[in-house]
Amino acid sequence: MSSLDFKPFYRKNLPHIQPPGAILFVTFRLADSLPRHVIQQLCDERDAIEKQIAALPDAQQKMERYLAHKKQFAKWDRYLDRADSGPMWLKETAVAQLVTNSLHHLDGDKYDLDCYSVMSNHVHVVFQPLWGKDGRYFAIARIMHSLKGYTATEANKVLGRNGRFWQEESYDHVVRDEAELNRIRQYVLYNP
């Protein structure tokens, strides 16, 4: 089994949950878009909160973990929105258009695209992975590998540079219901 094959749950630095048929809210960012000390601070906070949640009764853990993840995401995103250092390659019109075109290219093939926003150092996208012609579900790992791999290669050409373009891991969130989907759409479409 490849690391890109479908798994309903896996973990690297972040947990990744992908029930078949789910709508996903994904945020991916440029490599080195946040300073190491900020990343360390956010990871330390996450670990401390996780320890507190683990001490709770099992019945409370799921909801507390969900709420904690939402708060953590909001902190990460605020840092990205306010970043005044690190790469801002997505400000380049040609690079932003490349990412936009790639998001649309995979629409209807690997996922149904709902909405997206390309900022100077990160991207928000909402989509629902599809079933392939071979009967297999498109894993978020495979979708992101395809999207980020192609755009990294092409963007580096546009920018005349080499090296990592995207941060390896992306943040993904399963959209729970229509009300949450509408809130996320508002957030994505009206993001600065």
Same domain, 104 and 174: yes
User: Could you tell me the CATH number of the domain that includes residue 25?
Assistant: 3.30.70.1290
Which regions of the chain are under pLDDT 50? 6, 9-10
Same domain, 58 and 100: no
Q: Amino acid identity of 62?
A: K
Pick from 175, 185, 179, 153: nearest CA to 166: 153
Please report the pLDDT score of residue 58 as a whole number: 87
Please report the pLDDT score of residue 94 as a whole number: 98
Domain count, the chain: 2
Pick from 34, 30, 28: nearest CA to 124: 28
Please report the pLDDT score of residue 106 as a whole number: 95
Q: Write 68-74 long-range contacts (CB < 8 A, 24+).
A: 69/173, 72/42, 72/45, 72/46, 73/27, 73/171, 73/173
Same domain, 81 and 118: no
Same domain, 7 and 68: no
Same domain, 59 and 121: no
Same domain, 55 and 96: no
Same domain, 149 and 188: yes
| Encoded tokens for 21 | 């048929």
Same domain, 96 and 128: yes
Does this model's pTM top 0.85?
no
Please report the pLDDT score of residue 146 as a whole number: 95
Residue 150 neighbours by CB under 8 Å, 6+ apart: 102
Domain residues for the domain of 133 are: 1-33+87-192
Same domain, 189 and 169: yes
Please report the pLDDT score of residue 16 as a whole number: 53
Same domain, 118 and 172: yes
Positive or negative torsion for Cα 10, 15, 16, 18: positive
Same domain, 14 and 96: yes
Please report the pLDDT score of residue 9 as a whole number: 47
